């Protein structure tokens, strides 16, 4: 059993292997039985359309049985400790997929049982399986990540942090984070990315579009109000002026074959226009599909570890 809690726990070779497996599922089809006889729990304490459903679908397609838990359905919500929960569930389940309001260290405690593989399906500070789906989408589109330049625009949320770590582990991939001042990816995540990249300048963060050194191969954005949570400043929207992705933005920074990615859900007309999200350069819908192939690759890696 292996946990997938933070991308920082993986080696470049391990991340590459998981991403290539997701691309393989996208190319060859998604009906495999490599998890037959296994049991997977899906425990989400926050709302989700893609991640929860795609993990359920992935586990089922791989032949596993699945149990899902809502926010208040485990005795964790009445005070049982995280460690006791892990110890008990490890006797019933092979893997537990978790979305939580806490940071990765809380999920690590849930992953303390050696008999239970725990997958971080979004913590407060990281969204590792999203980044795996993102890299699978880019790999499928461009054939390789080597030499690509990705521009991620908007709030420096858990998807941005995961992209920074994934970039640091992917030789030849460059990431520019363009976040409004005050909404950047936290410094500790960028420091961790630098450390993982061995000092190579794989990730750059800037706060104004004029600071972006293009061209880029892909422009990525996220919903500005992450998880729909209102920001403290009632005038926060003003801070995001100039950060909407429209065709002019794509033309300004994108090279001739540039694509648009969005982790979804989107607020149409806010961080992205309809024309871009639904347009010919958008791979956001394929990216959503790769949530499922990424989930399959992650579950296999955690529970049965097959070759490709």
54 vs 167, which CB is nearer to ligand CP? 54
Integer Cα distance of 298 and 182 in angstroms: 33
Please say which residue, 197 or 245, places its beta carbon nearer to ligand CP: 245
Give 48 or 68: the residue with its C-beta nearer to ligand CP.
Answer: 48
The two tokens of residue 62 are: 């791989």
Which positions from 187 to 226 touch ligand CP by CB under 6 A, shown as an x/- string? ----------------------------------------
- Report, in Å, the least distance between residue 223 CB and ligand CP: 9
Q: At how many degrees (to 10) do helices 158-168 and 187-196 cross?
A: 20
Q: Which helix (H) or strand (E) holds 285?
A: helix 284-303
> Considering only 69-77, 101-109, 165-173, 257-265, which stretch makes contact with ligand CP by CB under 6 A?
257-265
Residue 135 C-beta: closest distance to ligand CP, Å = 14
Residues in binding contact with ligand CP, number by CB under 6 A: 9
Nearer to ligand CP, 4 or 197 (CB): 4
Lateral strand order in the sheet of 216-221: 203-206, 174-178, 149-153, 216-221, 254-262
Smallest distance, ligand CP to C-beta of residue 269, A: 19
For the chain, the residue count is: 308
Among 100, 120, 130, 226, contact with ligand CP (rule: CB under 6 A): 130
Residue 9 is encoded by which pair of tokens? Answer: 């726990």
String of contacts with ligand CP for each residue 36-65, x by CB under 6 A: ------------xxxx--------------
Mask for 258-277, x = binds ligand CP (CB under 6 A): -----xxx------------
Closest CA to 261 of 279, 242, 238: 279
Give the per-residue contact string, 64-103, with ligand CP (x = CB under 6 A; - = no).
Answer: ----------------------------------------
Q: Reduce the secondary structure of 227-283 to three states and give it as a string.
A: HHCCCCCCCHHHHHCCCCECHHHHHHHEEEEEEEEECCCCCECCCECHHHHCCCCEC
Q: Is 158 in the site for ligand CP (CB under 6 A)?
A: no
> Nearer Cβ to ligand CP, position 51 or 293?
51
DSSP calls for 32-95 = --TTTT-EEEEEESS--SHHHHHHHHHHHHTT-EEEEE-TTSSGGGGT--HHHHHHHHTTT-SE
> Among 163, 160, 158, 167, which Cα is nearest to 123's?
158
User: Which residues of this protein are in contact with ligand CP, per CB under 6 A?
Assistant: 48-51, 122, 130, 263-265
């Amino acid at each position: 059993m292996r946990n997938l809690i933070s991308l920082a726990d993986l080696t470049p070779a391990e991340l590459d292997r998981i991403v290539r497996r997701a691309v393989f599922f996208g190319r060859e089809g998604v009906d495999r039985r490599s998890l037959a006889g296994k049991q997977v729990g899906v425990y989400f304490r926050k709302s989700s359309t893609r991640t929860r459903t795609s993990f359920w679908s992935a586990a089922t397609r791989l032949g596993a049985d699945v149990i899902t838990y809502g926010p208040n359905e485990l005795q964790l919500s009445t005070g049982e400790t995280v460690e006791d929960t892990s110890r008990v569930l490890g006797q019933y389940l092979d893997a537990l997929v978790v979305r939580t309001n806490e940071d990765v260290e809380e999920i690590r405690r849930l992953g303390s049982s050696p008999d239970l593989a725990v997958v971080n399906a979004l913590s407060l500070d990281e969204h590792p399986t999203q980044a795996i789906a993102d890299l699978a989408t880019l790999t499928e589109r461009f054939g390789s990540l080597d030499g690509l330049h990705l521009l991620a625009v908007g709030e420096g949320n858990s998807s941005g942090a995961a992209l920074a770590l994934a970039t640091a582990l992917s030789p030849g991939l460059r990431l520019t984070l363009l976040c409004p001042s005050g909404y950047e990816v936290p410094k500790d995540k960028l420091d961790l990315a630098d450390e993982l990249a061995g000092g190579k300048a794989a990730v750059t963060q800037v706060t104004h579009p004029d600071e972006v050194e293009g061209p880029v191969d892909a422009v990525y954005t996220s919903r500005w109000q992450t998880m729909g949570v209102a920001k403290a400043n009632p005038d926060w929207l003003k801070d995001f002026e100039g950060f909407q992705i429209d065709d002019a933005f794509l033309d300004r920074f994108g090279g001739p074959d540039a694509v648009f990615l969005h982790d979804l859900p989107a607020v149409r007309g806010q961080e992205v226009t309809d024309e871009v999200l639904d347009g010919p350069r958008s791979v956001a819908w394929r990216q959503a599909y790769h949530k499922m192939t990424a989930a399959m690759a992650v579950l296999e890696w955690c529970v049965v570890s097959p070759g490709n």
